[in-house]
């Protein structure tokens, strides 16, 4: 559908012995890789694997949490998230301003600790070029529409400095606490939660 994603593969606990599976995964697409539970949120169980042993260890951890894992190419770059609200301010789909996520120093990604420990920065509007901001908003709205989502969603992206924007995932029920990203993006367009 014209939306770039990292190279990926879903693997299951029942797929066989972990070492053999890790060897196959290491050879099958670019490394390093991200290993995460297929069906959990908040970055629970997510690991960046740089070797066969790392992949096997990450899969072992994931399979204590879920029966399936998503293994994908690690894309380095700026992290962004964009909320989309249906029927907001007279628009069929209203994409909010992109939020830039700056993980804590030394953290390779926006992990559970960075999300809930307050160590990361969440900047809205993000410090992206006008072209990248517009593209992020268009991609988030397109993902919302293509996936048949309703009411509101929040899509996560990585912007690689040379390869462009990659879609990572969509949050179909993003958090609405005062610390959550969607309310911060609403505030950036002057919308209190009561208007939302």
Distances from the Cα of 195 to the Cα of 59, 152, 181, angstroms: 43, 14, 16
pLDDT band for position 15 (cuts 50, 70, 90):
confident
DSSP 28-91: HS-SSEEEEESS--TTTT-EEE-SHHHHHHHHHHHHHH-SEEEEEE---SEEEEEEEEEEETTE
**pLDDT confidence of 187, banded at 50, 70, 90?**
very high
Backbone angles phi, psi at 100, to 5 degrees: -95, 130
Render pLDDT for 127-144 as a digit per residue (tens, 0 to 9): 999 999 999 999 999 999
Radius of gyration for the alpha carbons in the chain, expressed in angstroms and rounded: 17
pLDDT at res. 111: 46
Give the torsion through C-alpha atoms of 148, 137, 34, 43, to 10 deg. Answer: -80
Percent of the chain with pLDDT over 90: 69
Least confident interval from 53-57, 85-89, 102-106: 102-106
What is the reported pLDDT for 109? 52
Please tell me whether the peptide bond between 32 and the residue prior to it is cis, using omega within 30 degrees of 0. Answer: yes
Which residue, chain included where needed, has tokens 């268009």?
138
Statement: residue 45 has pLDDT above 50:
yes
What is the reported pLDDT for 116?
47
Q: What are phi and psi of 134, to 5 degrees?
A: -65, -45
- The Cβ-side half-sphere exposure at 26, using a 13 Å CA radius, reads 17
- pLDDT at site 30: 85
Percent pLDDT > 70 in the chain is 89
Mean pLDDT of 85-112: 81
What pLDDT was estimated at residue 120? 78
When pLDDT is averaged across residues 24-33 and rounded to a whole number, the result is 89
Max CA pair span of the chain: 54
């Amino acid at each position: 559908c014209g939306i770039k994603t990292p190279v990926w593969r879903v693997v299951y606990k029942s797929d066989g012995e972990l070492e053999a599976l890790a060897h196959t995964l290491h050879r099958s697409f670019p490394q390093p890789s991200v290993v995460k539970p297929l069906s959990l949120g908040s970055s629970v169980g997510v690991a960046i694997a740089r070797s066969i042993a790392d992949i096997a260890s990450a899969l072992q951890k994931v399979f204590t949490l879920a029966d399936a894992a998503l293994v994908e190419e690690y894309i380095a770059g700026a992290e962004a998230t964009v909320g989309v609200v249906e029927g907001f301010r007279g628009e069929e789909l209203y994409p909010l301003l992109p939020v830039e996520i700056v993980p804590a120093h030394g953290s390779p990604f926006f992990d559970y600790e960075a999300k809930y420990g307050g160590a990361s920065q969440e900047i809205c509007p993000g410090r992206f070029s006008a072209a990248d901001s517009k593209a992020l908003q268009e991609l988030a709205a397109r993902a919302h529409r293509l996936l048949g989502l309703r009411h509101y969603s929040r899509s996560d992206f990585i912007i690689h400095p040379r390869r462009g924007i990659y879609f990572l995932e969509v949050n179909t029920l993003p958090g609405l606490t005062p610390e959550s990203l969607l309310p911060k993006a609403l505030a950036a367009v002057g919308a209190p939660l009561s208007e939302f």
